[in-house]
Homo-oligomer: A and B are copies of this chain.
């Protein structure tokens, strides 16, 4: 979403450029990133990996409660987006290390900002929810 822009109507209609730029295509693509951030475990893993590479079970322990397959899926999603690398060492038993890519590190900045905002305002949000739910 062009974050300062106004929608103009059906994207198939035409493309007369208005006073500001709203590109529906960009909008859709940005939302795939927001969706990734909104996933339950993705951000937790990203923040964890900021401190350095970790092995599968170390991440699992650190996230405390994630189902094994959910962690597999989460890591695969992050790897697919180029946010995390997966390195297999041919040892016995096998050892797999996950690490943030530069892209992943770069994402962790804005995500951290959002997280800090949330920490700051969660009491206010939770009060609003309670008030709303009372009716």
Contact = CB atoms under 8 A, between A and B. Distances in A.
A36 B126 CA distance: 13
Contacts of A124: 82, 103
Nearest to A76: B132
A133 B6 CA distance: 13
- Secondary structure class of chain A's binding surface, majority of residues: helix
Question: Interface range on chain A: under 10, 10 to 19, 20 to 34, or 35 or more?
Answer: 35 or more
A62 B7 contact: yes
A44 B34 CA distance: 11
A22 B47 CA distance: 12
B33 A40 contact: no
A20 to B, nearest CB: 8
A83 to B, nearest CB: 8
B44 A27 contact: yes
